[in-house]
Chains A and B, each alone.
Chain A
Amino acid sequence: MIPLHIKHLIYKEWIKTRWYATLGLILTFAFSVYMAIGTVLTFHHMDSAMYYSMLMTGNISLFTALKFKYWALLVALLIGLPQFLPEVSHKRIRLTLHLPVDTTTIVYSTVLYGLILCFAVLLPALLVVLVTLVAMFPAEIVVPTLQTMLPWLLGGITGYFFIAMIAFEPIAKFRFLYIIAAYFILRFFYISYGVGNAVTVYPLLLVITIVAGLSVLYTSYRFNKGAR
């Protein structure tokens, strides 16, 4: 059962993000349908054997159109920026952090709300991609393709955590430095690892995602204690 004050907090976040979430939902769904139709048409127009041959020799790749690898990160920006920017620019976040509730509870209610919203926005698009893959290709193609896509999804989650972390940082100088650090850390998720190869790098990416998730605690603590 969610306590009432957390429900109020979530409602506040919902008011800030609902139109951006709707926009993200429409765009990602429309683009994924467009991309799925493109894949199906290419498969049928080109001889299917030729399609497989080109796929296996690396001349075409699945679901790389429309910068698909960055969608999760873009959704994280679309949700994270309107969620945290007004709080930072008007220092309204002070009010939230000084509510008579444990800071960690407040911070993670806000962050988890945003994370769940990001998933909700991406879910229809991911389902379209998954259904297209499973309906058209055997497991030998589907599994490595999904293995290649997982770091991109983790990159989106990490990106969202870093937006929250940077937003909570009270000192502008450090905020700027954290943006640079976050940019370079996020690049690990978008390196071309080769089809299905990324499996060996999952532990590293997972550790980075967990640390990014915890990093919100560090800057919110600094904010709450009034670091100068």
Chain B
Amino acid sequence: MIKIVRILLILVTIFTMAFYLPSTYRKAVEKRPMKTMIYYSEVSNDFVIARETGDSLDTQAAMRYYTPAGTQLTEEEYMRLLPFNNRRKLKLMGNMPDSLHGVALTTDVLKNVKRSMLLAPRSSEYHLYPLFESAPERLGVSLPDDLFRFTGDGIEFVDCKTGDILAEKSARFRSAMAACGFTAPARDVYGIPSVLKRWDSGYFVVDVTGGLYHLMMVKGVPFCRKIDTDIAIKNMKCHTDEEVFAHIFDTQNRLYVLTTDYTIKPLETDVCNGRFFMTSNCFARTYKTSEADSSIMYVFSPDFEPLGRYAEVVDHYSHTDEAKWEQRIFPFSVMKTPGYAHFIPLFNAPAMFWLTNLLCAILWVGLKVYHRRRLTRPENIADFVVVLLAGVYGLMAVLLYPNRK
């Protein structure tokens, strides 16, 4: 029993070390990567690349700007190509154009730039939501006195103060939802449950059959509309936008857009990592994502027609010598997905760490021989296997829990 307990302690300690040691190593050796940014110019209808140059540790790092063909741009040319990003500076310099492609660049047009992070995994939430009035008499969004939730019978409104169920309101919304084909209970509810938005667009509810419904309250009356789609929805990111209700991720992390005319359009992006940074203005919509060693931008027209794609190799820790040494030292690492409770083991290639593991095993054998221990004892064989497989972690763990009395 004691031997089993010892092995269990060793395994827990290896897991703990695999979580802390590689990240500590990375913090100690990692240098700030050089920035590489991709922009889309609404002026030239082409990409602009900004690359940081110079060693940020020794000298002042500077940004250099290029066209995709490699022609270097001056800072002024770069700013002129990106009037939405450099609005304030161009105005101060008196270089802001009056119009672009026949559209007057008024303050409203220039300020109407939307930026949003689109993530495929859902964040945790309480399954209670405020249903705002979507057509209020006064501008803005005001907080209702009740919250709604979904039970096996359908939608249910709960009074915030007393916790009582509002039977009449619940029945009214339930029948409106049933009339458009909603089958309780709801599988997911997506929306913006905050008053910090310009107007309310209601909620998007996925029912138990996978059907998508738009739920709103318009002048106190329920509004429910079924949205025709066969997408297996994983997550939706809702927006307060004149043209777009939400972005949708399916279970394969493919991205779609749900427009305010209830059309769902797939966005032709070939990277499905479930992370996009979206920006949009009245000329173009850009979706930026990244892979292990590159930054990729997709550009679409305001009607979501693809306009271009550009990929740029970026400075990344995984390309450095320090990262290679990390893979040589540690056979694997454990990481926690940010914001979630998933611990993921990331195994390095055995070709990288086999030598370290072998050295650890030789060291362990050397210690045993020096202390005149019998290597053929079952617990010593088990320790040897642990050291051989878990390398540095295994060696430290077996030494931490001696198998001798």
The interface of chain A, by Cβ under 8 A from chain B, is: 47-53, 55-57, 136-138, 140-141, 144, 174, 177-178, 181, 184-185, 188, 191, 193-201, 204, 207-208, 211, 214-215, 217-218, 221-222, 225-227
CA distance A57 to B400 in the complex (A): 45
Q: Which residues on A sit within 8 Å (CB–CB) of B146?
A: 49
Contact B161 A185 (CB under 8 A): no
Contact B126 A55 (CB under 8 A): yes
Select which of A47, A56, A225 is within 8 A of B405 by beta carbon. A225
Contact A191 B2 (CB under 8 A): no
The interface of chain B, by Cβ under 8 A from chain A, is: 1-2, 5-6, 8-9, 11-13, 16, 19-20, 123-130, 143-147, 149, 158, 160-161, 163, 193-195, 336, 339-343, 400-402, 404-405
- The 5 closest A-B CB pairs, nearest first, are A225-B405, A201-B341, A193-B341, A48-B160, A194-B124
In the complex with contacts A138-B158, A211-B8, A193-B163 CB distance below 8 A:
no
Task: Name A104's closest neighbour in chain B (CB-CB).
Answer: B1
Q: Which residues on A sit within 8 Å (CB–CB) of B127?
A: 140
Q: A interface, by DSSP: helix, strand, loop or mixed? A: helix
Task: Name B146's closest neighbour in chain A (CB-CB).
Answer: A49
Report the minimum CB–CB distance from B211 to chain A (whole Å): 23
Report the minimum CB–CB distance from A98 to chain B (whole Å): 16
Q: Which residues on B sit within 8 Å (CB–CB) of A221?
A: 2, 405
In the complex with contacts A138-B128, A185-B12, A52-B160 CB distance below 8 A:
yes
Select which of B1, B161, B341 is within 8 A of A194 by beta carbon. B341
Give me 9 A-to-B residue pairs in the complex whose CB atoms sit less than 8 angstroms apart, sorted by A's number: A53-B195, A56-B128, A140-B127, A194-B339, A195-B125, A198-B341, A199-B341, A217-B2, A221-B405
Q: Which residues on B sit within 8 Å (CB–CB) of A55?
A: 126
Q: Which residues on B sit within 8 Å (CB–CB) of A193?
A: 340-341
Given contacts A191-B336, A215-B5, list 10 more A-B pairs with CB under 8 A.
A49-B145, A53-B193, A138-B128, A185-B13, A188-B16, A193-B340, A194-B124, A194-B341, A201-B341, A221-B405
Task: Name B339's closest neighbour in chain A (CB-CB).
Answer: A194
Q: Which residues on B sit within 8 Å (CB–CB) of A181?
A: 13, 16, 400
Report the minimum CB–CB distance from A158 to chain B (whole Å): 10
CA distance A221 to B403 in the complex (A): 11
Q: Which residues on B sit within 8 Å (CB–CB) of A177?
A: 400
Q: Which residues on B sit within 8 Å (CB–CB) of A52?
A: 128, 130, 147, 160
CA distance A199 to B127 in the complex (A): 16
Report the minimum CB–CB distance from B9 to chain A (whole Å): 6
In the complex with contacts A49-B160, A191-B336, A194-B341, A211-B12 CB distance below 8 A:
yes
Contact B340 A185 (CB under 8 A): no
CA distance A185 to B16 in the complex (A): 6
Contact A195 B124 (CB under 8 A): yes
CA distance A56 to B336 in the complex (A): 24
Q: Which residues on B sit within 8 Å (CB–CB) of A48?
A: 145, 160-161
Contact A201 B143 (CB under 8 A): no
In the complex with contacts A48-B160, A211-B8, A144-B16 CB distance below 8 A:
no
CA distance A196 to B340 in the complex (A): 10
Identify the interface centre among A138, A217, A222: most chain B CB within 10 Å of its CB: A138
Select which of A136, A208, A211, A218 is within 8 A of B2 by beta carbon. A218
In the complex with contacts A185-B12, A214-B8, A197-B340 CB distance below 8 A:
yes
Task: Name A195's closest neighbour in chain B (CB-CB).
Answer: B124
Contact A217 B1 (CB under 8 A): yes
Report the minimum CB–CB distance from A96 to chain B (whole Å): 19
Q: Which residues on A sit within 8 Å (CB–CB) of B161?
A: 48-49
Report the minimum CB–CB distance from A59 to chain B (whole Å): 9
Report the minimum CB–CB distance from A82 to chain B (whole Å): 26
Report the minimum CB–CB distance from B117 to chain A (whole Å): 16
Contact A53 B400 (CB under 8 A): no
Contact A204 B402 (CB under 8 A): no
